[in-house]
Structure 1
């Protein structure tokens, strides 16, 4: 009987987590399409980076920090926040600034842009871990709750998928590689949903720290890397517009789904 209940729970978590992963991939595909429509790649890339920062900053507070503090308490969320910042400092130091690229994308300019794009991808993947756990835990509690939460988080993941893929594609010119990174980001959420369903309520003990960790990672990347890089080449006005576009889009989506 217990095995059957666990099997049913895992199926619900698979469906809910798979829905979130699919919608993340939809966002990734939209990022590729936006990238293909670019006129001036350098300017469009800075707009895309700033858009990513706007999405990540809103998501850090509305999806991660505020729920952690409201459902649990501030200390574990703040501990996770500090840990996330420290972890991303380490990743920033270790991540190579140069990378194998197509010939058209060689040179220090594209090397810097790729470094920032990879940090954005890494931060959003980390942010997906606690969201996946929440989906899994909800699936263990109730079928309807799990599926609805998977849909809600998945819809929020669409702009996040764009935020990952748009700067990554524009800095590499490699559509398949960029799309694969976006799909792997969604799969990380699916894996964590299955883990959350297996652990049930026990997975919730780690959640406030993980939520804070994801917020710290995304805030650090936005403030330390993404925003300064998007302003570096003299595209401040366009980048500012891109930032607020991402900020408002994510905020409206969160308010709609809250």
Structure 2
């Protein structure tokens, strides 16, 4: 049953968030190494996965149902909205900027995933894989940010991330049930998410990757994108 497949895939993709947080708990195994090169490599891996989602799924599928003007409109609007969210987070000095950024990616992508399955596209499984790949390092980074800037316990943060994962099936099933008859709306959501993700990569992720006299972190982005390519080939 297709709805059950959507539910399971979006839930598994969402559970990458608490899994990333669990990995981030072991930050004292090799503190200096983990704090520097490994952490930067994980962030870069997430950036590579996000870029592969944009390049291999969201933009190619999005432009199929819109002419150039509307495709550019939705893509740029996504970047502008994410920029506005970034400005507001900075204005209010919240300790959960990575948390909000994570949900800003996860929810529209889950909607698009559900609708993609309903439309019979071949990229639904690939999109689910890429969502899971990007949620893992985002959960890792968001956990560390919350632990450093708030009084929340590890258990509370991981539990919150697990509850957030339930939003994936809700969004995915909503896309499947209500948007499958409107491919132009699904395409607009994909382009909007792609623009927002691209803004986030260069605003939040890429600046954190560089580390003086270390060359491993940029390869994390290469590996993240490479996994996206492998998934694209295998599901084609």
Shift of 1:210: 0.9
| Equivalent position of 1:108 in the other structure | none
Q: Indicate yes or no: 2:172 matched with 1:188.
A: no
Higher Rg: 1
Structure 1 spans left out of the alignment, 5+ residues: 1-10, 101-113, 139-144
Q: Is the 8 A contact 1:60 1:215 kept in 2?
A: yes
Shift of 1:257: 1.8
Structure 2 spans left out of the alignment, 5+ residues: 148-153
TM-score by length of 1: 0.72
Alignment of 1:1-258 (within 5 A): 12-13=2-3, 15-38=4-27, 39-40=30-31, 41-43=34-36, 44-96=38-90, 98-99=93-94, 115-116=97-98, 118-135=100-117, 137-138=118-119, 151-173=125-147, 174=154, 176-178=156-158, 180-181=160-161, 184=164, 186-199=165-178, 201-231=180-210, 234=212, 237-258=215-236
Query: 174-183 vs 78-87, which deviates more?
Result: 174-183
Shift of 1:154: 3.1
Question: 2:186, 2:130 → 1: CA distance?
Answer: 19
Could you give the per-residue CA deviations for residues 156-208 of structure 1, whole angstroms, max 9, x where no partner exists? 33212213211112323435424633652x43332233323433643323112
Shift of 1:228: 0.9
Q: 1:92 to 1:172 in 2, by over 3 A?
A: same
Higher helix share: 1
**Pairwise CA RMSD:** 3.0
Question: SS in structure 2 opposite 1:95?
Answer: helix
